[in-house]
Structure 1
Amino acid sequence: MADAISSFWGPVTSTIECCEKNYAYSSYIAEFFNTMSNIPSILLALIGLINALRQRFEKRFSVLHISNMILAIGSMLYHATLQHVQQQSDETPMVWEMLLYMYILYSPDWHYRTTMPTFLFLYGVVFAAVHSVVRFEIGFKVHYVILCLLCIPRMYKYYIYTQDVYAKRLAKLYVATLLIGSLCWLGDNVFCKEISSWPINPQGHALWHVFMGFNSYFANTFLMFCRAEQRGWAPKIVRFMGLLPYVKIEKPKTQ
């Protein structure tokens, strides 16, 4: 939500603004809540990364957790500055992350091992180059939704073939956080005019960040479980301090 203050970073140049008053709490942070709400995503991705490294999961999962952190950091830079160049550090990693999810989801059934990663890599490079020049707005959202939809059939297949109750619960938490987060994002965009007159702004976009942080963590953990089953690593879902679920595996000695 724009106002008369440009402050430290200068005039707003991003193509998108959220329903939060600019520079309300600091002259260095344009959208305070939308910036700080990315911290849970970073912490959750760090926890996932530590677990993946400690149990020697395949490198793809370490890269996935790192990509979640990069996306959250890029989002922080964007919302803190509201500059177009920083907007790219948010939107481009969003697409790269979905391409990585597509690779992890579909690679077990891919007959030519180098074809798929090569295509996805080149696609990501071309998108980044074009997106740095062309200011996609609605087109970017449509493109991102299509990439998400391409992942759903394989996620559903993994879900129906998973017998573990706790793993299935992770998949349900993934869907629930996605739906709730999307409603928060939609409400922040559609009802911004009405929200602006309320005594307290519910910060729908910031809530979207928080829910999507958990959404990514649940998705990653579920995929790690499914991959561990494919590799015969006897995975099980356990909880850190009785709260946060993660995958514990037992690799055969030959591996």
Structure 2
Amino acid sequence: MEDGLSSFWGPVTSIDWCEKNYVHSSYLAELFNTVSNIPGILLALIGLVNSLSRHFEKRFSVLHISNIILAIGSMLYHATLQQVTHQGDETPMVWEILLYIYILHSPDWHYRSTMPTFLFLYGATFAILHSLVRFGIGFKIHYAILCLLCIPRMYKYYIHTEDVTAKRLLKLYVATVSLGSLCWLFDRLLCKKISQWYINPQGHALWHMLMGFSSYYANAFLMFCRAKQLGWNPKVVHLLGVLPYVKIQKPKTQ
């Protein structure tokens, strides 16, 4: 099918990306942008299994599940290019970053019920408003501000972490999120030129894959830091000698 034609899902009603639509199937608007979310799901599943098997706090299991939900939402969006699925992709992004804010700040928050209650109401209010209004550039600004709120606390954890392998997790996070952002910008801003190339490098699909890894690295780093706070003697080991994960040894009294 030619780019821009109606499909099984009907005309495109959301933001269109730099991958030609419905080239491989009438059910998948953007094949590469859809399947590129699979690595993120697999990595989140690995993180979830590690969190559950080692009895980390429930917040980390919820965090890995939120990564899975976000990836599935992205798959649905890029498979259909419909406004409703676009909103279904963006809303979990905000929920996930609110969860990161909670995990980063909760150890030093003295009023235990106040912050989660506020963040829950904030996320619920945003979901309702976002279902009614197309925010456009406003969403990107809002999301960027929420992300910026995480940076000082992440940096604090980094400078107070002495373990070299744990520090490497955050360095890998910064590297993958930076490279992924460049791929996103490259795909978005230079689409007209890219469309004339013989091979499309699929910058947005690369963004999905790199963000899957960056989320995994960030989660592992936060799990290490929390285990250190709780006195669980964490250390970073590698699955099959490649993929890092956090192993702990709780005191017998716990």
Does residue 1:25 correspond to 2:31, yes or no? no
2:87–2:130: 8 Å Cα contact kept in structure 1? yes
Give the corresponding residue for 1:13: 13
- Deviations 1:84-104 (CA, angstroms, capped at 9, x unpaired): 111111000000000000000
Runs of 4+ with deviation above 6 angstroms:
none
Give the corresponding residue for 1:3: 3
- Deviations 1:119-175 (CA, angstroms, capped at 9, x unpaired): 000000000000000001100000000000000000000000000000000010000
> What is the TM-score normalised by the length of structure 1?
0.98
Total equivalences in the alignment: 253
Does residue 1:76 correspond to 2:75, yes or no? yes
Give the corresponding residue for 1:215: 214
2:77–2:86: 8 Å Cα contact kept in structure 1? yes
Give the corresponding residue for 2:43: 44
Does residue 1:134 correspond to 2:125, yes or no? no
Q: Secondary structure at the match of 1:78?
A: helix
> What displacement does 1:3 show?
2.8
Equivalents in 2 of 1:19, 1:88: separation in Å?
19
Equivalents in 1 of 2:48, 2:253: separation in Å?
24
> What displacement does 1:7 show?
1.2
Equivalents in 2 of 1:250, 1:6: separation in Å?
56
Letter of the structure 2 residue corresponding to residue 129 of structure 1: I
Equivalents in 1 of 2:6, 2:157: separation in Å?
48
2:36–2:205: 8 Å Cα contact kept in structure 1? yes
Equivalents in 2 of 1:17, 1:65: separation in Å?
28
> What is the TM-score normalised by the length of structure 2?
0.99
Alignment of 1:93-242 (within 5 A): 93-242=92-241
Equivalents in 1 of 2:59, 2:90: separation in Å?
21
- Deviations 1:213-240 (CA, angstroms, capped at 9, x unpaired): 0000000000000000000000000000
Give the corresponding residue for 1:247: 246
Letter of the structure 2 residue corresponding to residue 35 of structure 1: T
**Stretches of structure 1 lacking an aligned partner (at least 5 in a row):** none
Equivalents in 2 of 1:24, 1:233: separation in Å?
51
Give the corresponding residue for 2:63: 64
Q: Secondary structure at the match of 1:132?
A: helix
Letter of the structure 2 residue corresponding to residue 49 of structure 1: L
The share of aligned pairs that are identical, in percent, is 76
Let me know the Cα RMSD of the aligned residues.
Answer: 0.8
Letter of the structure 2 residue corresponding to residue 37 of structure 1: S
Letter of the structure 1 residue corresponding to residue 206 of structure 2: L
Does residue 1:91 correspond to 2:90, yes or no? yes
Letter of the structure 1 residue corresponding to residue 148 of structure 2: L
Letter of the structure 1 residue corresponding to residue 47 of structure 2: G
Q: Secondary structure at the match of 2:132?
A: coil
Equivalents in 2 of 1:207, 1:110: separation in Å?
37
> What displacement does 1:4 show?
3.4
Equivalents in 1 of 2:140, 2:173: separation in Å?
20
Q: Secondary structure at the match of 1:68?
A: helix
